[in-house]
Amino acid sequence: MSSTLITGGTIIDCTGAKPKKNTAIFIENGRIAKIGASDALKAHALKRGTHKTIDAAGMTVMPGLIDAHCHVSYGDIGSVEELDLYTGVEFRAIRAAYNVKKVLRAGVTAMCDPGSTWNISVAVRDAINCGMIEGPRMASAGRYITTFNAIGSFWPTWMEHPRSSFAVLCNTRDEMITEVRREVKEGVDIVKVAGDGDAVQSHARESEGSLSLDDLRAIAETTHRLGRRCTIHARTGVVAAAAAEAGFDWLIHASYLNDAQLATILRTKTPINPTLSLLANAVDWAPELGAPTGMIDAYKRELEAAGKCLSKAHKEGIMMMAGTDSGQGAVPYGEWHARELEHLMNYLGLSAMEALKAGTINAAFATGMQDEIGTLTEGKFADLLVVDGDPLADIQVLQAKARLKVIMKGGEVVDTKTPLPERTVYAWEKPMLYWNDPRLPGQDYVREHAAKKPAWMKKKETRRAAE
Ligand SMILES: [Zn+2]
């Protein structure tokens, strides 16, 4: 494997240390071998033999971004039907292999996938790790463990829960434990639980949650005994606090915490991945696209609530991890990963440095690889970005792909020049709607025109008259 010297840049190592100007990084065998003053390191690199040099003068060198919440198997879905029903496992897996490249090319060198249809996330992770396909380092969950009363159970009770769903129905504690065992056998890093509903479901904020503390304890205990970690979709405070109490490793969302629930999380010191991107994108742009106001209002309410309680949690020292929920239609792959850092500053009051840590070393916690990635530290993997600009002065520079001059994973520069093949979307990936086009005539039109016969009918009649 080749060696590389990156010279002259300002290093933000994301350990919390101040930026270091004119500092070099020497990379050997995919890892950061040495960090030091540019001149001294040039001499050291020469002694080590042939190597490539990257001139980062005037630029920032920082760890690669880490997205704590990206679903590779979803496929930028716009509906639950697309998520759960359409597209078989074979095409879905290949589509995921295509989409992870977009994630990597956005500067995301590692990610956590907290929930997959089939077992696609694990397969994509393994294909990346053995060098078959290009993508970020991944930590993977299987299907969510859900009940009739949480996300994932979208289908009416009179039909069988589909095998292709992103969730598996487990309404009893025994079923939950069995599912944890199955998923661990199938190679997951993470067990994901659906703890409650969604922002658009009116019951979400009041929900008591369908899982008892004992249910949650049983899941956490089994997961940990098998050497894995667990996380939970918990928008409501009651579920978030119960999961923290039960020993879940981190919480996803936790948007509606009252003071008592926050106190539980402060006591257990459970990290939180708020995932504001999906909500913020809906609030910022969905109105123009004609999205239903009920949905937009629900997202707005949740953003405001999350901003209030999670900024308190952050001030009290709870670790915040950046994650975007990419793979949902409102948050497509490769587009929004870096913007979550801006949301964390805007809604939760993080400083730019804190936001950078949220999107690197903190998010690394969700991958379980925090000792190997997430900071620029000697011995860690050389997963890094050379950025044309200073993200501490303007966090938005990370959102401009043209400013990411080098994306490096494991010491290898990612090819961002060769364009990815453009794809078209098949009709069978989408829901089957018979009459949803507003350009088609409504009933009023039909009634008005029923008297006048359509042209083809008239033609037939003239022919008949002529016979
Ligand atoms: Zn998600």
Helix 277-285 vs helix 293-315: angle between axes, to the nearest 10 degrees?
140
Closest CA to 124 of 333, 402, 425, 392: 333
Q: Is residue 14 one of the residues assigned to a domain?
A: no
Q: Which domain holds residue 455?
A: 436-466
Give residue 204's pLDDT. Answer: 47
Give residue 433's pLDDT. Answer: 75
CA 69–ligand 1 middle distance (angstroms): 6
Picking from 355, 374, 393, the residue at the C-terminal end of a domain is 374
DSSP assignment of 420-433, as one string? Answer: PPP-PPPGGGS---
Regarding whether 460 and 318 lie in a shared domain, the answer is no
| Lowest model confidence (mean pLDDT) among 104-113, 160-169, 426-435 | 426-435
More confident residue, 285 or 179: 179
Q: Is residue 242 one of the residues assigned to a domain?
A: yes
Joined together, the tokens standing for residue 3 give 């060696």
Give residue 438's pLDDT. Answer: 62
CA 106–ligand 1 middle distance (angstroms): 19
How far is 183 from 116, CA to CA, in rounded Å?
Answer: 11
Average pLDDT, integer, range 217-241:
97
Average pLDDT, integer, range 60-80:
96
What is the number of structural domains in the chain?
A: 2
Edge-to-edge strands, sheet with 250-256: 167-169, 144-146, 190-194, 229-236, 250-256, 272-273
Answer for the pair 124, 172: CB distance below 8 angstroms, yes or no: no
CA 100–ligand 1 middle distance (angstroms): 16
Picking from 374, 392, 415, the residue at the C-terminal end of a domain is 374
Average pLDDT, integer, range 424-433:
87
How far is 309 from 232, CA to CA, in rounded Å?
Answer: 18
CA 255–ligand 1 middle distance (angstroms): 14
Closest CA to 100 of 427, 409, 412: 409
At residue 360 the predicted structure's pLDDT band, cuts being 50, 70 and 90, is very high
Give residue 410's pLDDT. Answer: 98
Picking from 348, 374, 400, the residue at the C-terminal end of a domain is 374
Regarding whether 236 and 107 lie in a shared domain, the answer is yes
CA 372–ligand 1 middle distance (angstroms): 25
Answer for the pair 270, 251: CB distance below 8 angstroms, yes or no: yes
CA 463–ligand 1 middle distance (angstroms): 61
CA 180–ligand 1 middle distance (angstroms): 19
- How much is the pTM? 0.93
CA 114–ligand 1 middle distance (angstroms): 7
What are the distances in angstroms from CA 296 to CA 82, 235, 347? 21, 16, 17
Cβ atoms within 10 Å, residue 57: 10
**Residue 347 is part of a domain; what is its CATH number?**
3.20.20.140
Q: Is the pLDDT of residue 451 over 80?
A: no
| Lowest model confidence (mean pLDDT) among 133-142, 205-214, 358-367 | 205-214
Q: Is residue 151 one of the residues assigned to a domain?
A: yes
Q: Is residue 129 one of the residues assigned to a domain?
A: yes
Q: Is residue 13 one of the residues assigned to a domain?
A: no
CA 233–ligand 1 middle distance (angstroms): 8
Closest CA to 262 of 315, 204, 199: 315
Regarding whether 451 and 330 lie in a shared domain, the answer is no
Q: Is residue 97 one of the residues assigned to a domain?
A: yes
Per-residue pLDDT of 437-450, as tens digits, reads: 666 667 777 777 77
CA 57–ligand 1 middle distance (angstroms): 38
CA 418–ligand 1 middle distance (angstroms): 30
Average pLDDT, integer, range 204-209:
56
CA 419–ligand 1 middle distance (angstroms): 28
| Lowest model confidence (mean pLDDT) among 126-140, 187-201, 248-262 | 187-201
Q: Specify the length of the chain in residues.
A: 467
Q: Is the pLDDT of residue 241 over 70?
A: yes
Regarding whether 234 and 108 lie in a shared domain, the answer is yes
Regarding whether 454 and 366 lie in a shared domain, the answer is no
CA 380–ligand 1 middle distance (angstroms): 28
| Lowest model confidence (mean pLDDT) among 129-143, 189-203, 262-276 | 189-203
Q: Is residue 56 one of the residues assigned to a domain?
A: no
Per-residue pLDDT of 272-330, as tens digits, reads: 999 999 999 888 887 777 778 888 888 999 999 999 999 999 999 999 999 999 999 88
Three-class secondary structure of residue 45 per DSSP: helix
CA 46–ligand 1 middle distance (angstroms): 47
Regarding whether 331 and 446 lie in a shared domain, the answer is no
CA 74–ligand 1 middle distance (angstroms): 10
Q: Is residue 5 one of the residues assigned to a domain?
A: no
